[in-house]
Amino acid sequence: MGLLSCERDVFGHSPRNEFLMARHHVSPATTIVLYLVNGLLALILVSHFTLVAFSMLPANPLNHQYKYQLFRYVNPFFSQAWTLFSPNPINSNQRLLFKYDIYSRGNKHSTPWVDVVAPMTSAKKSSYWSPVQRILKHISSSTNQTSEARNKALKFVAEHDSLRNDPVKAQRFVRRVVESSPGHKALIEYSYYTYKRLMTTAKQAPRPDSVQVTYLISSQEFPRFSKRKQDYFDVRNSNYTHLSSFACALKVNKL
């Protein structure tokens, strides 16, 4: 018989049972803490999935009212997309470039155009499981939203004489619509990180008094499936569009 056999002593106690009871004994305070932790985790999970599901609902007054808060929560890590059957197959390549005008002690220094997409695309090719994939998805979503907002604003201008006949008023209207879109705000937010990385590599970068950023969205749309006989690699068969933003001020205290 082993040390923890089922033999009982004169009082009817089993050494094995006493060993197990002592091993699994939990104090009341620990039990309360475990219940609280489990409850908190359950609350976090329920809240998370509720917000994600709410962001995927068809347009309605309630999610329209909180669309900016929902967008900031689900992007870039929790955004959802239904692409199992590829309803919108990829038909274009996009590039996002930033240019910074840095003002310091009365002097202006302009950086060259900084390509954001190209280095991340190279990193994604070297490692499929790189988190860069999520960042690229976020950038693509932001550029598409910005372009869509601009196109809707231009269509609205073309349909209203008061704007169509007043170029200055039309330009202000288009700028206001674009800069109020979530995609534009996300691109400006990302430009902070690009600027910080750029200044980290710069030698003896002066402390800026003010910084303005301009972004350029360059799109190459290659032939659709209906024109599949055309050479995809011949650039003459592609359509190119460029969307350049107005100069936007960055908050120096965030830099």
Say if residue 212's pLDDT is above 90. Answer: yes
The answer, as to whether pTM is greater than 0.85, is no
Q: pLDDT of 122-157, one tens digit each?
A: 887 777 777 788 888 888 889 989 989 999 999 999
Please state, for a pLDDT cut of 70, what percent of the chain lies above it: 75
Task: Judge whether residue 204 has pLDDT over 70.
Answer: no
Average pLDDT over residues 218-222: 78
The predicted-structure confidence for 19-32, as pLDDT tens digits, reads as follows 445 555 667 888 88
232 versus 149: which is more confidently predicted? 149
Instruction: Look at residue 177 in the predicted model and tell me its pLDDT.
Output: 93
Cα–Cα separations (whole angstroms), residue 119 to 110, 126, 201, 222: 21, 11, 15, 22
In whole angstroms, what is the distance from residue 255 CA to residue 251 CA?
Answer: 7
pLDDT (average), residues 110-132 = 83
19-34 per-residue burial string, b: 16 or more CB within 10 A, e: under 16: eeeeeeeeeeeeeeee
